[in-house]
Amino acid sequence: MINSPATSVWIGYDPRQSTAFAIAKYSLKKYQRHIPIMGLVLDELREQGLYRRPTSRKNCRLWDDISEAPMATEFSISRFLVPHLAKIGYALFCDCDVMFMTNVARIFDKLENGKAVYCVKHKHEPDDQLKMDNQIQTKYFRKNWSSVMLFNCDHPSNKKLTLDLVNTLPGRDLHRFCWLEDDEIGELPPEWNYLVGSSYLNENQIPAIVHFTNGLPDIKGYEDQEYAKEWRAMKPLSVGAFSNWKV
């Protein structure tokens, strides 16, 4: 068990998913008002000289030239800058297509101490070729492990995750935690990254983080998925939440 609370939460931001970002932020603050929340905004990271990866557009999709692969979101790679940005303590990263269902401080209740990164170790092998708004469903080793990550920024192995590494390695290597040994990757309980349509919990369990990884409830075809009603109920309450990246 870890007694130290998270010092910050970092949510990926993509202008195509500003509503999702607002709901993720609102749902987190609903249960924990005092933790700093930051958005990973690609344009700002470029301006600061932190994100230097060349990108292009192919078939109207954002393309990472180093990986020679599509980027489903603008934060596909920038998430790995979180230890550099947060600097100290524990920092939680999550995709913006999530909804918090409990106080984020509870994430520490059952964790083994001493790991560099903690995540839900999914065995996620989607059959669909497309997801979200017709984005390519890229398949890679340890898929969706990196969609919710708790970084121990003080762990010496995370010092290997340098700006040069983030800006030069193919995304598939970063998403498989290439800078870490396997025993440095701690495991979050499955409720901390509940993939709608893919994850399963015991009868008495409820998700702590609901993740609409295949498509948000406001996208055609995903309106009736599990937890869609709860997500839409937060939509009018979260208005303006994406106007500030830092709270």
CATH number at residue 143: 3.90.550.10
According to DSSP, the β-strands at 61-64 and 69-70 are: antiparallel
Kindly state whether residue 244 falls inside one of the protein's structural domains.
no
Number of domain units in the chain: 1
Kindly state whether residue 82 falls inside one of the protein's structural domains.
yes
Kindly state whether residue 21 falls inside one of the protein's structural domains.
yes
**Strand blocks (E) in 77-165:** 90-94, 98-100, 117-119, 130-131, 135-136, 148-152
214 lies in which domain range? 6-238
Query: What is the chain's pLDDT, residue by residue, as a tens digit (247 residues)?
Result: 566 666 899 999 999 999 999 999 999 999 998 899 999 999 999 999 999 999 999 888 899 999 999 999 999 999 999 999 999 999 999 999 999 999 999 999 988 999 999 999 988 665 554 445 454 446 557 889 999 999 999 999 999 999 999 999 999 999 999 999 999 999 999 999 999 999 989 888 999 999 999 999 999 999 999 999 999 999 988 876 544 545 4
Integer Cα distance of 215 and 217 in angstroms? 7
Kindly state whether residue 80 falls inside one of the protein's structural domains.
yes
